[in-house]
């Protein structure tokens, strides 16, 4: 383990991010140094995740969903370990709030179009689009974490279902917007999604 990771681990441990220098517990206790902000400690902990992936696990891709779950815990948002409705205080209000927020986020796409049509560069538009799609994805993943949904397995089930949309002759049909249309052998994802929820520890 590098000195950089050891220092980051020590900082996060002292900040109360971890019960020990080996395990993160998602809690924030007392801050040992009044001159150091929570954000700085959060950045130090984030560096642990990134650097550990790079140097210890041999990968250049941090686990995005785990980082989003850390975000939920850091800001006191629900993040149950198993699928459940009970972690969210007001399920109906939560879902209505999600719908409203996504509607507002989607409307920002018109602002991007207007900016581009007014003379924005290709790079500006690509940057805005990346931020636009990224915000929507992160918000959706954060919401999934609030219900304990095993989103990685859910996405895998959905993609496996999507690959079954071919037509009987092996061709692909799309609507006017480019959406791939379902063929006769389409397999819906819900059965696999249900299994993943049960396997993740859901108790009826």
Sign of CA dihedral 191, 194, 196, 198: negative
CA atoms within 13 A on the CB side of 55: 12
Cα 143 to Cα 71: distance, rounded to the nearest angstrom? 11
Which pLDDT score is estimated for 194? 97
pLDDT of 28-46, one tens digit each?
A: 343 344 344 444 544 555 5
Which pLDDT score is estimated for 180? 97
Cα 143 to Cα 163: distance, rounded to the nearest angstrom? 26
Q: For residue 24, give the 3-state DSSP assignment.
A: strand
Which pLDDT score is estimated for 9? 54
Which pLDDT score is estimated for 4? 53
Cα 162 to Cα 179: distance, rounded to the nearest angstrom? 11
Are the C-beta atoms of residues 160 and 192 closer than 8 Å to each other?
Answer: yes
Burial (CB count <10 Å: 0-12, 13-18, 19+), residue 69: buried
| pLDDT tens-digit profile, the chain (204 residues) | 455 555 555 555 555 544 444 444 444 343 344 344 444 544 555 555 545 444 444 444 457 898 899 899 988 999 999 999 999 999 999 999 999 999 999 999 999 999 999 998 999 999 999 999 999 999 999 999 999 999 999 999 999 999 999 999 999 999 999 999 999 999 999 999 999 999 999 998
Which pLDDT score is estimated for 64? 87
């Amino acid at each position: 383990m590098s000195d950089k990771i050891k220092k980051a681990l020590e900082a996060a441990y002292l900040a109360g991010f971890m019960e020990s220098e080996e395990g993160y517990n998602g809690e924030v206790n007392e801050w040992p140094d009044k001159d150091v902000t929570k954000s700085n400690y959060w950045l130090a902990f984030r560096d642990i995740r990134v650097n550990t992936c790079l140097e210890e696990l041999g990968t250049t891709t941090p686990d995005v969903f785990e980082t989003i779950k850390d975000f939920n815990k850091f800001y006191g948002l629900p993040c149950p370990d198993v699928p459940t409705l009970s972690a969210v205080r007001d399920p109906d209000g939560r879902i209505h709030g999600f719908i409203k927020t996504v509607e507002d986020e989607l409307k920002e796409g018109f602002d991007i179009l207007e900016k581009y049509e007014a003379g924005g560069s290709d790079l500006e538009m690509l940057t805005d689009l990346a931020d636009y799609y990224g915000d929507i994805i992160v918000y959706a993943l954060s919401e999934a974490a609030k219900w304990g949904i095993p989103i990685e397995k859910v996405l895998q089930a959905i993609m496996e279902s999507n690959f079954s949309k071919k037509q009987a002759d092996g061709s692909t049909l799309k609507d006017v917007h480019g959406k791939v249309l379902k063929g006769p052998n389409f397999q819906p994802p819900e059965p696999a999604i249900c299994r993943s929820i049960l396997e993740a520890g859901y108790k009826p």
